[in-house]
Amino acid sequence: MLETKELILNMGPQHPSTHGVLRLVLKLEGETIVGTDVVIGYLHRGSEKIAENIPYFEFVPYTDRLDYTAALSSNLGYVMAVEKLSNIRPPERAEYIRVILTEFQRIAAHLVWLGTHAMDLGAMTVFLYCFRERETILDFFEMITGARLTINFFRIGGVPADLPPQFFARAWEFLETFPDRIKEYEALLTRNKIWLKRTKGVAVISAEDAIDLGLTGPSLRGSGVSFDIRRAEPYSVYDRFQFDIPIGEKGDVFDRYMVRVEEMRQSIRIIRQGLEQIPEGDLMTRVPRKLKPPAGAEVYVRIEAPKGELGFYIVSDGGEKPYRLKIRGPSFVNLQSLPLMVQGGLVADVVAAIGSIDVVLGEVDR
Amino acid sequence: MPTVVVEIIVVLVKIAVVFGAVALVVAYLTYLERKVIGHMQHRMGPMRVGWHGLLQPIADGLKLFTKEDIIPSQADRWVFFLAPVVSLVPAFIAYAVIPFDRNFYITHLNIGVLYILAVSSLGVYGIVMAGWASNSKYAILGSFRSAAQMFSYEIFLGFSLIGPLMIAGSLDLVKIVDAQSKVWFIVYQPVAFLLFLVAATAETNRVPFDLPEAETELVAGFHTEYSGMKFAFFFMAEYANMVIVGAMASVLFLGGWSGPVLPGVIWFFLKVMAFIFLFIWLRATLPRLRYDQLMYMGWKVMFPIAILNIVGTGLVIYLL
Amino acid sequence: MEPFFFFLFAAGAVISALLVISRRNIMHCALFLVLTFFFVAAIFVLLNAEFLAAVQVLVYAGAIMVLFTFVIFLVHIPRTEKIRRTFGQKNLALALGVFLGLEVAYIVYGAISAPASPAAAPVVQGGNTESFGVALFTRFLFPFEIVSVLLLAAMIGAIVLAKKEIDR
Q: What are the structural domains of chain A?
A: 44-365 (1.10.645.10)
Lowest mean pLDDT among A327-336, B232-241, C74-83: C74-83
- What does the alpha-carbon distance between residue B161 and residue B164 come to, in Å, rounded to a whole number? 6
pLDDT above 80 for C130: no
* Residue-wise pLDDT tens digits, C48-91: 888 888 888 988 888 888 888 888 777 765 555 555 666 677 78
The answer to whether the beta carbons of residues A115 and A127 sit under 8 Å apart is yes
| pLDDT band at A2; cut points 50, 70, 90 | very low
Whether B79 sits inside 8 A of C27 (CB atoms) is: yes
pLDDT above 80 for C122: no
Candidate from C74, C75, C165 with C-beta closest to A1: C165
Whether C51 sits inside 8 A of B79 (CB atoms) is: no
The sign of the CA dihedral B49, B53, B58, B63 is: positive
Query: Does any CB of chain A come closer than 8 Å to the CB of residue C75?
Result: yes
Chain A residues close to C165, C-beta within 8 Å: 1-2, 4
Q: Compute the radius of gyration of chain B from its Cα atoms.
A: 20
pLDDT confidence of residue A286? 86
Which residue in B282, B126, B117, B300 sits closest to B207, CA to CA? B282
Q: What percent of chain A has pLDDT over 70?
A: 98
* Residue-wise pLDDT tens digits, B2-52: 777 888 888 888 888 888 888 888 888 888 888 998 888 888 888 888 888
Chain B residues close to C54, C-beta within 8 Å: 111, 114-115, 117-118
Query: Does any CB of chain B come closer than 8 Å to the CB of residue A347?
Result: yes
pLDDT confidence of residue B133? 77
- What does the alpha-carbon distance between residue A289 and residue A156 come to, in Å, rounded to a whole number? 11
Phi then psi for residue A34, to 5 deg, are -110, -10
**Which residues, listed in sequence order, are joined to residue A155 by a DSSP beta bridge?**
A158
Q: What is the mean pLDDT of residues A58-67?
A: 90
| List of residues 6+ apart from B197 with CB closer than 8 A | B249, B278
Whether C63 sits inside 8 A of B151 (CB atoms) is: yes
Whether C129 sits inside 8 A of B122 (CB atoms) is: no
Q: Which residues of B272-305 are buried (b: 16+ CB within 10 A; e: fewer)?
A: bbebbeebbeebbbbbbbbbebbbebbeeebbeb
Residues 60-119 of A with CB under 8 A from B: 118-119
Residues in chain C: 168
pLDDT confidence of residue C15? 93
Chain B residues close to C72, C-beta within 8 Å: 132
The answer to whether the beta carbons of residues A185 and A114 sit under 8 Å apart is yes
pLDDT confidence of residue B216? 47
- State the alpha helices, DSSP H only, in A223-343: 229-232, 253-277, 330-334, 338-342
Query: Does any CB of chain A come closer than 8 Å to the CB of residue C160?
Result: no
| Å between B19 CA and nearest CA of chain C | 23
Mean pLDDT (chain C) is 81
The answer to whether the beta carbons of residues B251 and B112 sit under 8 Å apart is no
Whether C58 sits inside 8 A of B114 (CB atoms) is: yes
CA triplet B49, B53, B55: central angle to 5 degrees? Answer: 65
* Residue-wise pLDDT tens digits, C14-58: 999 999 888 877 888 888 999 999 999 999 888 888 888 888 898
| Å between C86 CA and nearest CA of chain A | 24
Q: What percent of chain C has pLDDT over 90?
A: 22
- What does the alpha-carbon distance between residue B141 and residue A60 come to, in Å, rounded to a whole number? 47
Q: Which residues of A148-161 are buried (b: 16+ CB within 10 A; e: fewer)?
A: beebbbbbbbbbee
Lowest mean pLDDT among A132-141, A214-223, B136-145: B136-145
Structure pTM?
A: 0.81
Subunits that touch chain B (at least 3 Cβ pairs < 8 angstroms)? Answer: A, C
Which residue in A216, A74, A94 sits closest to A151, CA to CA? A74
The sign of the CA dihedral A133, A15, A353, B150 is: positive
Query: Which residue in C1, C2, C19, C27 has the most chain B C-beta atoms within 10 A of its own C-beta, making it the best mutation to test that interface?
Result: C27
* Residue-wise pLDDT tens digits, B148-203: 888 888 888 889 888 888 888 888 888 888 888 777 888 888 888 999 999 998 88
Q: Around A182, how many Cα atoms within 13 Å sit in the side-chain half-sphere?
A: 22
| Å between A76 CA and nearest CA of chain B | 34
ipTM, 2 dp: 0.81
Residue ranges covered by each domain of chain B: 73-319
pLDDT confidence of residue C79? 53
Q: What percent of chain A has pLDDT over 90?
A: 34
